[in-house]
Amino acid sequence: MSNQLGFEVAIPKPLDEAIETITALLKTEGFGILTRIDVRATLKEKIGADFRPYVILGACNPTLAHSALEIDAWLGLLLPCNVTVESIDDRSSLVRIANPELMATFSQSPEKLSEIVKTATRKLNNVVSALALA
């Protein structure tokens, strides 16, 4: 499933295994994980709120990021590419990956980003397809 913001796939793995799987699949497409935010723990610590298990990963393909930033430095505000992983239940998780095409809509030079966006979208779609088979 997808919408304008990104791509979504449910996988039959608990949260930690899902994170390991998505990290490995992203790596095969040239993405590394720069940040990991445990939303549940952060909300509990900061405001005492209970929240479902939910992690935000900041994924980056350095080659694509460099090329995009060379064209439009403002795009740094949209990097890294966010990937969310949340627990559906003890045995399954929901993964969402930000849609790179959205980045171009905020750029002052969308035509110059066309190939970068196509490449990033293809790579992330490969990850989503592989997750669907996980």
pLDDT at site 47: 98
133 vs 67, which has greater pLDDT? 67
Q: Indicate whether 45 belongs to any domain.
A: yes
Q: Is the previous residue joined to 14 through a cis bond, with omega within 30 degrees of 0? A: no
pLDDT at 34 over 90: yes
* Residue range 39-54: mean pLDDT, rounded: 98
Total domains in the fold of the chain: 1
Residue 85 near residue 11 (C-beta atoms within 8 A): no
CATH number of the domain where residue 20 is located: 3.30.310.70
Full DSSP string of 25-91: HHHHTT-EEEEEEEHHHHHHHHH------EEEEEEE-HHHHHHHHHH-GGGGGG-SEEEEEEEEETT
Give residue for tokens 């993405």: 31
Q: Indicate whether 51 belongs to any domain.
A: yes
61-115: pLDDT as tens digits:
999 999 999 999 999 999 999 999 999 999 999 999 999 998 888 888 889 999 9
pLDDT at 23 over 90: yes
Q: Indicate whether 114 belongs to any domain.
A: yes
Q: Indicate whether 1 belongs to any domain.
A: no
pLDDT at site 107: 86
Q: Indicate whether 95 belongs to any domain.
A: yes
Query: Rounded distance, CA 72 to CA 122, Å?
Result: 21
Q: Indicate whether 84 belongs to any domain.
A: yes
Type and span of the H or E element at 98: strand 92-98
Q: Indicate whether 89 belongs to any domain.
A: yes
Segments forming the whole domain that contains residue 32: 6-132
Query: Rounded distance, CA 49 to CA 47, Å?
Result: 5
pLDDT at 2 over 70: no
